[in-house]
Structure 1
Amino acid sequence: MNDFRPQAVPTIGWHYDRMALALHWISALLLVLMTGLGWYMMEIEHTPRPSRISSCISLWG
Structure 2
Amino acid sequence: MAFAIGATSPLLLFALAGRRMSERIAAFRRRQRSIRGASGVVMILRDHLGEPKRDHNRR
What TM-score does the superposition give when structure 2 sets the normalisation length?
0.47
Q: Which has the higher helix share?
A: 2
